[in-house]
């Protein structure tokens, strides 16, 4: 309490000498004093300012002190009023108390008497103020709690995961709109028994906790296929809710949509199955030949044997290549490719790849022609990746070409992109084969491709690389006539600044 | 002399299987895709069909087997399988797999011959 503060006092009295004398007396002690010479003025002052104490004469010519007191208390209930009266009696005291006066003082009064009264009154005043302050604070806290509750509700309702709380009796206590969606219910009534309306697996999760009837830090979860037709998978987790005393209050169930994850999982296992199948095929082929060699009841000629050994080697080579390609794809997927992006000249890369294929070209008597317009600009890329793209495409152009065929490579550029076109006079593709060309493990299978080995991953890797550089790959093909691959690579990009060949401009991991 | 048709898209499997069976005295005809397979079966009416379950598409072989059965071709069928136990095979569980035997790749010649002989004998028996 503020004990150092001096009270502010209003004196309402028609006796001028008393007014002035009291004022002087109180002011000498540091009190702040206002005076009113009649009832009307007393009301005017007392209702316009929250005085600590009002000292009111009971008998005044215009308005009596009781009315003045009533008006003041109505305006400021915490102003402590003292009635001053020349006719002090027991009755007066009772009457004064009845109408809301704190106390009364008989006139005339000594300085000690008035100071004693004012001291008591001021103490009362401070208690009143303190009480009011506490009341106000309590009100504010209640408001805060209410606000907190609304805020919490808003948050719970905004969560995309479903949330349902049930009590020990299995009645719904709290839920959010997402819960309705995942529980496939139109509405939930608070305090209604709900366990019989839920998906049996969710009811099971809740019962696992309710059946123990005590609080343990243990959660249970399960994945549920909510809708086979629309493929909605959710993961529901039930956790116990404790009471403050540590016993079990109920169960909270959180339901999360895991459809995306689940689909990814399915894709992943399909991919694994496909890989296993592709790896098993060459193993089965080689195994079959080896069995022939070891089985004495089977007669094979020397020539057949040589042929089967060669083909086994071919299958093993492509198996090895497939494993390496798979590792590459996995690195790309994991984004663990260490690229060294620098300014590259494409022509020397193409020439070095052609050099590597000299034996194959000669063996199949394929004529390769390279046309390049002048001043082909640098591209900004990783040397190994671009080499890989060129290698895979030229390798295909040789593999799927006919003996004595040709391969045309055209290199050109515009202001914004570089284009590489590789055209062969090979066996071409059917429309339905073209559509699946960039899928992992897809290989055109027809009467003309039966002796061509491959992993079915080469073009898928090409596509991944071209995609990384924001390029485009197009294919044109006619069955029996040949195929043409055209790659467009963007030349300039804001992030690359150098013009010098070989200078590293960006290291990307 | 029994005729056996082998339909598989892997030329190496075709060659090795053919050799195993021809050395046992069977006449072997082959095809590398379901369409050609259907054709050689219609034209040559073999005594036994060996069919790879996965050719161009997973379950190609299964659908071809179904087609034979629909057309009342009740020639015994041996199906070569690879990993189809774990994927593909999109047909419902209740749907009958219209084949008589399965042989899993890689193929053991002994097992293949044993199953071939068993089915051909059963055919003679009925």
Does the pTM of the predicted model rise above 0.90?
no
Both tokens assigned to B30 = 């082959």
Supply φ then ψ for residue A32, to 5 degrees: -95, 125
Contacts of B20 in chain A (CB under 8 A): 291-292, 295, 298
Residue A54's SS3 state is strand
Contacts of B108 in chain A (CB under 8 A): 291
Lowest-pLDDT range, A62-66, A112-116, A178-182, B15-19? A62-66
Task: Give yes or no for A450 touching B (CB within 8 A).
Answer: yes
Domain ranges of chain A: 8-134, 159-257, 272-331, 337-508
Both tokens assigned to B50 = 């060996």
Task: Give yes or no for B19 touching A (CB within 8 A).
Answer: yes
List pLDDT tens digits, range A78-130: 999 998 887 766 777 777 788 788 888 888 888 898 999 999 999 999 999 99
pLDDT of residue A458: 84
pLDDT of residue A308: 94
List pLDDT tens digits, range B61-91: 888 999 999 999 999 999 998 865 544 444 4
Comparing CB atoms, the residue among A281, A295, A312 nearest residue B82 is A281
Q: Mutation test of the interface with chain A: which of B87, B108, B112, choosing the one with the most A Cβ atoms within 10 A?
A: B87
What burial letters (b/e) apply to A77-87, b meaning 16+ CB within 10 Å?
Answer: ebbbbbbbbee
Residues with Cβ within 8 Å of A258's Cβ and at least 6 positions away in sequence, in order, are A223, A233, A234, A235
Residue A149's SS3 state is helix
**pLDDT > 90 in chain A, percent:** 47
Mean pLDDT for the stretch of residues A21-48: 92
Q: How far apart are CA A63 and CA A506, in angstroms?
A: 95
**pLDDT > 70 in chain B, percent:** 85
Q: How far apart are CA A274 and CA A245, in angstroms?
A: 56
Q: Is the CB of residue A459 less than 8 Å from the CB of residue A475?
A: no
Interface TM-score (ipTM) > 0.90: no
How do strand A504-508 and strand A162-167 relate by DSSP bridges? unpaired
Taking one residue from A and the other from B, the number of pairs with CB-CB distance under 8 angstroms is: 77
Between A97 and A254, residue with greater pLDDT: A254
Cα-based distances in Å from B18 to A289, A299, B24, B55, B56: 11, 12, 10, 18, 21
Q: Which of residues 23-42 of B touch A (CB under 8 A)?
A: 23-24, 32-33
pLDDT at A304 over 80: yes
C-beta atoms of A298 and B12 within 8 A: no
pLDDT at B112 over 90: yes
Task: Give yes or no for B45 touching A (CB within 8 A).
Answer: no
Average pLDDT, chain A: 87
Q: Mutation test of the interface with chain B: which of A266, A288, A443, choosing the one with the most B Cβ atoms within 10 A?
A: A288
Between B122 and B30, residue with greater pLDDT: B30
Q: Is the CB of residue B53 less than 8 Å from the CB of residue B27?
A: no
Task: Give yes or no for A436 touching B (CB within 8 A).
Answer: no
Q: Mutation test of the interface with chain A: which of B34, B82, B113, choosing the one with the most A Cβ atoms within 10 A?
A: B82
Q: Is the CB of residue A426 less than 8 Å from the CB of residue A482?
A: yes
From the number of C-beta atoms within 10 Å of its C-beta (0-12, 13-18, 19+), residue A21 rates as middle
Both tokens assigned to A147 = 């606000």
pLDDT of residue A148: 85
Class at the top of the CATH hierarchy for domain A159-257: alpha beta
Domain ranges of chain B: 3-125
How do strand A472-478 and strand A482-490 relate by DSSP bridges? antiparallel
Task: Give yes or no for B103 touching A (CB within 8 A).
Answer: no
Q: Is the CB of residue B68 less than 8 Å from the CB of residue A249?
A: no
Handedness of CA A117, A123, A125, A128 (dihedral sign): negative
Q: Estimate the crossing angle of helix B11-22 against helix B109-125, to 10 degrees.
A: 60
- Chain centroid to Cα A318, Å, comes to 44
Contacts of B11 in chain A (CB under 8 A): 450-451
Give how far B90 is from chain A: nearest CA, Å: 13
Residues with Cβ within 8 Å of A209's Cβ and at least 6 positions away in sequence, in order, are A218, A220, A238, A239, A240, A248, A251
User: Is the CATH number 3.40.50.920 carried by domain A337-508?
Assistant: no
Q: In what order do the strands lie in the sheet with A232-242?
A: A172-175, A162-167, A248-257, A232-242, A220-227
Class at the top of the CATH hierarchy for domain A8-134: alpha beta
Radius of gyration of chain A (CA): 48
Task: Give yes or no for B86 touching A (CB within 8 A).
Answer: yes
Residue B7's SS3 state is strand
**pLDDT > 70 in chain A, percent:** 93
C-beta atoms of B106 and A284 within 8 A: yes
Residues with Cβ within 8 Å of A46's Cβ and at least 6 positions away in sequence, in order, are A10, A12, A36, A54, A68, A71, A72, A75, A76, A79
Mean pLDDT for the stretch of residues A336-361: 89
Cα-based distances in Å from A362 to A352, A354, A367, A426: 16, 12, 8, 16
How do strand A406-413 and strand A472-478 relate by DSSP bridges? unpaired
pLDDT of residue A133: 92
Contacts of A313 in chain B (CB under 8 A): none
Q: How far apart are CA B27 and CA A376, in angstroms?
A: 61
C-beta atoms of B23 and A297 within 8 A: yes
Both tokens assigned to A363 = 């063996």
> Half-sphere exposure of residue A399, counting CA atoms within 13 Å on the CB side?
17
| Third-level CATH fold of B3-125 | Rossmann fold (3.40.50)
Q: Is the CB of residue B32 less than 8 Å from the CB of residue B14?
A: yes
Lowest-pLDDT range, A80-94, A219-233, A278-292? A80-94
Count of residues in chain A: 509
Give how far A445 is from chain B: nearest CA, Å: 7
Residue linked to tokens 């089977």:
A298
Both tokens assigned to A221 = 């979860």
Handedness of CA A336, A337, A340, A343 (dihedral sign): negative
pLDDT at B57 over 80: no
Q: A197: which DSSP letter?
A: G
Q: How far apart are CA A458 and CA A462, in angstroms?
A: 6
Mean pLDDT for the stretch of residues A128-148: 88
Q: How far apart are CA A111 and CA B51, in angstroms?
A: 124
pLDDT at A216 over 60: yes
Q: Is the CB of residue A6 less than 8 Å from the CB of residue A33?
A: no
Comparing CB atoms, the residue among A270, A280, A445 nearest residue B56 is A445
> Which residue in A285, A135, A502 sits closest to B11, CA to CA?
A285
pLDDT band at A446 (very low <50, low <70, confident <90, very high): low
Both tokens assigned to A25 = 């007396």
Supply φ then ψ for residue B94, to 5 degrees: -75, -20
Between A440 and A154, residue with greater pLDDT: A154
DSSP β-bridge partners for residue A85: A106
| Third-level CATH fold of A272-331 | Helix Hairpins (1.10.287)
- For residue A118, whether the previous peptide bond is cis, meaning omega lies within 30 degrees of 0, is no
């Amino acid at each position: 309490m503020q004990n150092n503060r001096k009270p502010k006092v209003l004196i309402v009295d028609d006796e001028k000498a008393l007014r002035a004398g009291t004022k002087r007396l109180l002011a000498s002690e540091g009190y702040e004093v206002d005076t009113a010479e009649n009832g009307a003025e007393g009301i005017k002052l007392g209702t316009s300012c929250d005085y600590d104490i009002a000292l009111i004469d009971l008998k005044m010519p215009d308005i009596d002190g009781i009315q003045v007191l009533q008006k003041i208390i109505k305006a400021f209930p915490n102003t402590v009023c003292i009635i001053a009266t020349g006719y002090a009696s027991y009755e007066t005291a009772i009457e004064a108390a009845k109408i809301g006066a704190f106390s009364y003082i008989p006139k005339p009064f000594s300085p000690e008497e008035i100071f004693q009264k004012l001291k008591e009154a001021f103490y009362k005043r401070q208690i009143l103020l303190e009480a009011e302050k506490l009341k106000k604070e309590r009100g504010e806290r209640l408001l805060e709690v209410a606000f907190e509750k609304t805020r919490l509700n808003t948050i719970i309702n905004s969560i995309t995961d479903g949330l349902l709380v049930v009590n020990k009796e299995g009645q719904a206590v709290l839920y959010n709109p997402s819960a309705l969606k995942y529980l496939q219910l139109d509405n939930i009534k608070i305090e209604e028994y709900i366990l019989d309306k839920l998906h049996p697996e969710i009811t099971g999760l809740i019962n696992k906790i309710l059946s123990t009837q005590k609080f343990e830090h243990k959660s249970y979860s399960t994945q549920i296929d909510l809708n086979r037709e629309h493929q909605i998978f959710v993961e529901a987790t039930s956790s116990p809710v404790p009471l403050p005393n540590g016993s079990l209050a109920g169960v909270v169930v959180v339901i999360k949509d895991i459809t995306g994850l689940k689909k990814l999982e399915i894709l992943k296992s399909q991919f694994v199955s496909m890989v296993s199948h592709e790896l098993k095929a060459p193993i089965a082929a080689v195994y079959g030949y080896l069995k022939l060699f070891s089985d004495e009841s089977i007669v094979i000629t020397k020539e057949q044997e040589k042929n089967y050994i060669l083909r086994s080697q071919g299958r093993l080579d492509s198996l090895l290549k497939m494993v390496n390609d798979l590792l590459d794809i996995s690195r790309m997927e994991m984004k663990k490719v260490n690229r060294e992006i620098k300014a590259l000249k494409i022509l020397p890369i193409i020439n070095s790849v052609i050099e590597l294929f000299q034996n194959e070209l000669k063996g199949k008597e394929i004529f390769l022609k390279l046309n390049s317009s002048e001043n082909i600009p640098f591209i900004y890329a990783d040397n190994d990746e671009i080499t890989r793209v060129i290698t895979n495409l030229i390798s295909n152009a040789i593999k799927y070409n006919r003996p004595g065929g040709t391969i045309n490579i055209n290199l050109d550029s515009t202001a914004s992109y570089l284009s590489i076109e590789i055209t062969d006079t090979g066996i071409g593709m059917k429309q339905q084969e073209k559509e699946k060309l960039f899928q992992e493990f897809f290989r055109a299978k027809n009467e003309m491709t039966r002796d061509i080995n491959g992993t079915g991953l080469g073009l898928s890797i090409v596509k991944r690389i071209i995609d990384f550089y924001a390029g485009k790959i197009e294919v044109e093909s006619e069955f029996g006539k040949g195929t043409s691959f055209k790659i467009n690579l963007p030349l300039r990009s804001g992030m690359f600044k150098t013009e010098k060949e070989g200078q590293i401009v960006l290291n990307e991991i | 002399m029994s005729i056996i048709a082998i339909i598989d898209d892997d030329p190496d499997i075709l060659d090795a299987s053919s050799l195993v069976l021809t050395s046992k005295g069977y006449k072997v005809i082959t095809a590398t895709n379901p369409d050609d397979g259907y054709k050689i079966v219609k034209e040559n009416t073999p005594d036994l069909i060996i069919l790879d379950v996965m050719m161009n598409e997973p379950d190609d072989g299964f659908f071809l087997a179904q087609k034979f059965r629909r057309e009342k071709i009740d020639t015994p069928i041996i199906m070569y399988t690879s990993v189809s136990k774990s994927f593909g095979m999109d047909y419902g569980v209740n749907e009958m797999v219209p084949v008589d035997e399965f042989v899993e790749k890689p193929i053991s010649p002994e097992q293949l011959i044993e199953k071939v002989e068993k089915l051909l004998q059963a055919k003679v028996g009925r």
